[in-house]
Amino acid sequence: MFFSENVGLQNVYTPLPFEIHLVFSVFATIILLIQFFRKQRICYLLATLAIDATLITHFTFQNRTAILALEIIELALVAGCIIDIAVAYVKKKKKLHDKKEQEKLLESQQKEREKREEISDRDILDKAFDSELNDLDDSQN
């Protein structure tokens, strides 16, 4: 059938026929570009380039220099993806930590405000009858 067609020399780098490899590459490119535009992360573009670069193996699989260059490029693109993911993870973790610190600060400020209001409420209640008590003290003298 489609997988068993005679293709001449066998491409050991991509065992699928070119047409199937092209379909998979186009599908992956569309998905990764959608993700890039949604999330604005460079790793999606790097992954797209890495996937699309594998198509070169169908045309130069007998040229060892081209395959070696492709391997180096692929490793660099994958390393770029890993670095981008790690940087995003660290930024997200720092943002979460800063948010928690901000929440703790706001919470402590709120508790301090409530404590001051509680004291001022107590003072108001204590002073509410001071003038009447002073008047009683004055009238008894």
Q: For 34-89, how does the pLDDT look when each residue is reduced to its tens digit (9 = 90+)?
A: 999 999 999 999 999 999 888 888 777 777 888 888 889 999 999 999 999 999 99
The contacts of residue 29 (CB under 8 Å, 6+ apart) are 48, 51, 52
Q: What is the reported pTM?
A: 0.61
Whether the Cβ atoms of residue 16 and residue 63 lie closer than 8 Å to each other: no
Q: Whose CA is closest to 39, among 96, 99, 92, 95?
A: 92
Report the pLDDT value the prediction gives residue 1, as an integer from 0 to 100: 41
Report the pLDDT value the prediction gives residue 18, as an integer from 0 to 100: 83
